[in-house]
């Protein structure tokens, strides 16, 4: 059986299970969405928002390589705009992860076969250059990847705080920076800046 075929079979079983347990579930699901959270994560197959046991309807999602936030990325900004303005989410979570391939790539020479990826991770290369001293002191390449993934989350949180969409949001939005420790299967908080007048200063403090 091909993997897509297996996905369709699994979907049948999943929808039957839910229908048997709660016959009104899909009618409720179809009527509206009121997620409380926007999740900005990495496209990595090992880090779906499902690691929080979230159910359909609970999390609005944007994922890209290395969970990047850029104000010239129409995909990101349209998702953010809809989440903040239309859905009025209360929380935006930037979730990076250890063992991130996008971050690893930023610590290695560019690969000619991946020009789009190279362009996307340019900001992580610059971040790496900013933190060369700290990263060099770490004992292994893996440790540098994991620390740079954390610094990358903090940088994306800072980028979010600077975006007009967040600054002018009618409803206060709390921005969270999380890292998924893959070896432990645990999510950890890197920063939890409340939406306050001095939020940029608070983020800079979290950046160290």
Residues that bind Zn ion (CB under 5 A): 42, 44, 100, 102
Cβ closer to Zn ion: 122 or 194? 122
Cβ closer to Zn ion: 101 or 110? 101
Q: Which of 62, 95, 98, 100 is catalytic?
A: 100
Name the nearest CA neighbour of 128 among 116, 114, 145, 143. Answer: 145
Q: Which of 6, 16, 28, 46 is catalytic?
A: 46
Q: In angstroms, what is the minimal distance from the CB of 119 to Zn ion?
A: 16
Q: In angstroms, what is the minimal distance from the CB of 66 to Zn ion?
A: 5
Q: In angstroms, what is the minimal distance from the CB of 46 to Zn ion?
A: 8
| Catalytic status, residue 131 | no
Q: Is 85 exposed, middle or buried (0-12, 13-18, 19+ CB in 10 A)?
A: middle
The Cα 42–Cα 175 span in angstroms is 17
**DSSP label of 109:** P
- Provide the edge-to-edge strand list for the sheet that holds 186-191: 59-64, 37-42, 91-97, 174-181, 186-191
Cβ closer to Zn ion: 68 or 84? 68
């Amino acid at each position: 059986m091909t993997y897509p075929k297996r996905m369709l079979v699994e979907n049948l079983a999943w929808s039957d299970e839910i229908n048997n347990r709660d016959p009104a579930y899909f009618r409720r699901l179809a009527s509206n969405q009121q997620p409380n959270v926007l999740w900005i994560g990495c496209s990595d197959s090992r880090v779906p928002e499902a690691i929080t046991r979230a159910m359909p309807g609970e999390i609005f999602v944007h994922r890209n390589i290395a969970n990047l936030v850029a104000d010239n990325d129409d995909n990101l900004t349209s998702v953010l705009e809809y989440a903040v303005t239309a859905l009025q989410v209360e929380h935006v979570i930037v979730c990076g992860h250890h063992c991130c391939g996008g971050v690893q790539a930023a610590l290695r020479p560019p690969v000619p076969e991946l020009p789009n990826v190279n362009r996307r991770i340019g900001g992580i290369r610059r971040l790496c250059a900013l933190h060369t001293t700290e990263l060099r002191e770490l004992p292994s390449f893996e440790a540098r990847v994991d620390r740079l993934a954390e610094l990358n989350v903090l940088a994306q949180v800072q980028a979010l705080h600077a975006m007009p969409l967040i600054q002018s949001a009618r409803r206060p939005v709390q921005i969270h920076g999380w890292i998924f420790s893959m070896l432990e299967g645990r999510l950890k908080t890197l920063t939890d800046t409340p939406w306050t007048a001095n939020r940029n200063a608070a983020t800079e403090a979290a950046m160290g």
